[in-house]
Amino acid sequence: MRVKLKIWRQARGESEGRLEDYEIDNISEDMSFLEMLDQLNEELTEKGIEPVAFDSDCREGICGTCGMVISGTAHGRGSSPVRTTTCQLHMRSFSDGETITIEPWRAGGFPIIKDLVVDRTALDRIIQAGGFVSVNTGAAPDAHANAVSKLKADKSFDNATCIGCGACVAACPNSSAMLFMSAKVTHLGQLPQGQPERWLRVKGMVGQHQAEGFGNCSNIGECAAVCPKGISLEAISQLNRDLMHSLFKADGK
């Protein structure tokens, strides 16, 4: 198959970027999207043209490093479920001769480094502001030492699947990272180990979220629609409840 590509090229963060046109042929429908970009870069290198910079790591849908906006959808729209990572998107999801637009995550909190590569360390700083628990070191406790109800355990596990890819930020009209942040807050807030710092955690993470320049949530739901791990909007509701509770705690505990 043959596809036409419109790819965002930007030499560095402070330079002006633009969409450039490419055409690539002899693409197998069984190729992943990143394999198609690999082939394009091989052809560009042979022609003496600088290859397109993009992020990738595991290429197994685990890490979320490969994020990019494909024809208006974060990570691209798969042939059946919308929820996918770019590396798990295959060329059979596109038609022969189709024009595909490829852009980086666009958000104030994700400055562009080069081409399709953005700096997502703002998410790391949000985690550092409270997405952790403090526990005693030593021998592991017995598995049944801290009882956790099935409902809370399932809720915690479902939110722990967040891979921090940033698709929720890229899809949100407000460039909000609330779904990412609420997944971390809900994951830890359901477990006994997360209770001592629960209220300080939510205030610290929300404060860092604002400091990083991310927008507020307006409940549009685009974030949940593109989340490759299916994090629910219910997580944002849980974060809001925890935040309101923390504001009435005089000592934040």
| Residue 214 near residue 176 (C-beta atoms within 8 A) | yes
Residues in the chain: 253
| Residue 49 near residue 57 (C-beta atoms within 8 A) | no
For residue 229, the tally of other CB atoms under 10 A from its CB is 18
Going by C-alpha positions, the residue among 163, 149, 241 that lies closest to residue 192 is: 149
CA angle 55, 85, 120 (to 5 degrees): 45
| Residue 105 near residue 68 (C-beta atoms within 8 A) | yes
Determine the pLDDT at residue 41. 98
* CA–CA dist 66, 73 (Å, integer): 14
SS3 content of the chain, % helix, strand, coil (to 5): 35, 15, 50
Residues of the chain with confidence (pLDDT) below 50: 79-80
* CA–CA dist 56, 111 (Å, integer): 17
For residue 24, the tally of other CB atoms under 10 A from its CB is 17
* CA–CA dist 4, 97 (Å, integer): 7
- Say what the pTM is: 0.91
Going by C-alpha positions, the residue among 178, 158, 153 that lies closest to residue 166 is: 178
Determine the pLDDT at residue 250. 54
Beta strand residue intervals within the chain, DSSP E = 3-9, 18-24, 69-70, 73-74, 99-103, 112-114, 117-118
Determine the pLDDT at residue 91. 95
Determine the pLDDT at residue 161. 96
Domains of the chain (ranges; CATH) run: 3-103 (3.10.20.30), 121-247 (1.10.1060.10)
Q: Report the chain's C-alpha Rg in angstroms.
A: 20
Q: What are phi and psi of 40, to 5 degrees?
A: -60, -45
For residue 12, the tally of other CB atoms under 10 A from its CB is 10
Determine the pLDDT at residue 253. 54
* CA–CA dist 248, 253 (Å, integer): 10
| Residue 23 near residue 7 (C-beta atoms within 8 A) | no
| Antiparallel, parallel or unpaired: β 99-103 and 3-9 | parallel
* CA–CA dist 42, 48 (Å, integer): 10
